[in-house]
Amino acid sequence: MIEIIPAIDIIEGKCVRLTQGDYTRMREYGDPLDMAMQFEDHGISRLHLVDLDGAREKRLVNYRILEKIAARTGLVIDAGGGLRTIEDVRIAFESGAHMVTGGSVAVKDRVEFISWLEQYGPERIILGADFKQGKIAVSGWFEKTSLDLMDFIADYRKIGISMAICTDIDKDGMLEGPSMDTYREIKKEHEPLFLIASGGISGMEDIEKLTVSGIEGVIVGKAIYEQKISLQTLESFILKNS
């Protein structure tokens, strides 16, 4: 069964959503802890927590919020945003993260990222492979690289990565459906990879399509916050497929 993974993005202590990674196109949705507790109350077991202040400042900023959510819920949390050093990773794990996602660091400091993988193992380190028009983008999506998405994933698969979050930046926050063709291609090329699709989810039909395509996880953000998908509907889906 596909794993439903709601996203909580944090700026200045608030739960927010951006559109296509644009900090000027931001909407606030209240307290991150309240949202996390609501998710758990509706049968959700996993959370994608992104420190957008950290992504912008290139350092871990909102680890106290991670600490609160980890202390007050039983959610399995993967943390991302602002993680640049193994010290950042240590703080994230000590604050209650079960896994961390490395995106920019995997591009800009390969040796550092590999050291995370060697120290903590592939079950705790997720590759962040965010892309725009088939090319990897980094630094809070401000910077598009010349790295091909498929080549990037293949390279880290050889090193031992077993999980990846792939966000299509052009789709993110647009509520226009996910990049199905890209996800199917990734699964075809990298069958053992635990692939988490992100960006564009507009309704349950998108989640159903990803499920049929064998995608292991899906990050759902704006569709929840804009009430395109209710938590009650997600709870029913999880119960039906458990």
pLDDT at 137: 86
Say if residue 141's pLDDT is above 60.
no
Residue that has been written with the tokens 């608030």 in this structure: 14
Alpha-carbon distance of 113 to 103, in angstroms, equals 9
pLDDT at 28: 93
> Domain extents for the chain?
3-241
Alpha-carbon distance of 49 to 6, in angstroms, equals 9
Nearest to 215 by CA among 233, 234, 198: 198
Q: Domain 3-241 belongs to what topology? A: TIM Barrel (3.20.20)
pLDDT digits (tens, 9 = 90+) for 98-140: 999 999 999 999 999 999 999 999 999 999 999 999 999 886 5
Backbone CA torsion sign across 199, 202, 205, 207: positive
Alpha-carbon distance of 178 to 180, in angstroms, equals 6
Contacts of 160 (CB under 8 A, 6+ apart): 117, 122
The single-letter DSSP state of residue 140 is T
pLDDT at 72: 98
The single-letter DSSP state of residue 168 is B
Q: Exposed, middle or buried: residue 39 (CB in 10 Å: 0-12, 13-18, 19+)? A: buried
Extract the tokens encoding 162: 């077993």
Query: Which of 130, 168, 172, 206 is an active site residue?
Result: 130
Looking at the chain, the number of H-run helices and the number of E-run strands are: 11, 13
> How many Cα atoms sit within 13 Å of 105 on the Cβ side?
27
pLDDT at 144: 79
Q: Annotated catalytic, 9?
A: yes
Alpha-carbon distance of 82 to 188, in angstroms, equals 31
pLDDT digits (tens, 9 = 90+) for 151-203: 999 999 999 999 999 999 889 888 899 999 999 999 999 989 999 999 999 99
- Contact call for residues 185 and 206 (beta carbons, < 8 A): no
pLDDT at 115: 98
Per the prediction, the chain carries an average pLDDT of 94
Residue that has been written with the tokens 């709601």 in this structure: 6
Say if residue 60's pLDDT is above 70.
yes
Say if residue 147's pLDDT is above 90.
yes
Higher pLDDT, 179 or 21: 179
- Contact call for residues 2 and 211 (beta carbons, < 8 A): yes
pLDDT digits (tens, 9 = 90+) for 24-57: 888 999 999 999 999 999 999 999 999 999 988 9
pLDDT digits (tens, 9 = 90+) for 219-233: 999 999 999 999 999
- Put simply, whether the predicted model's pTM sits higher than 0.85 gets the answer yes
pLDDT at 152: 97
pLDDT at 68: 98
Higher pLDDT, 171 or 94: 94
Average pLDDT over residues 70-94: 97
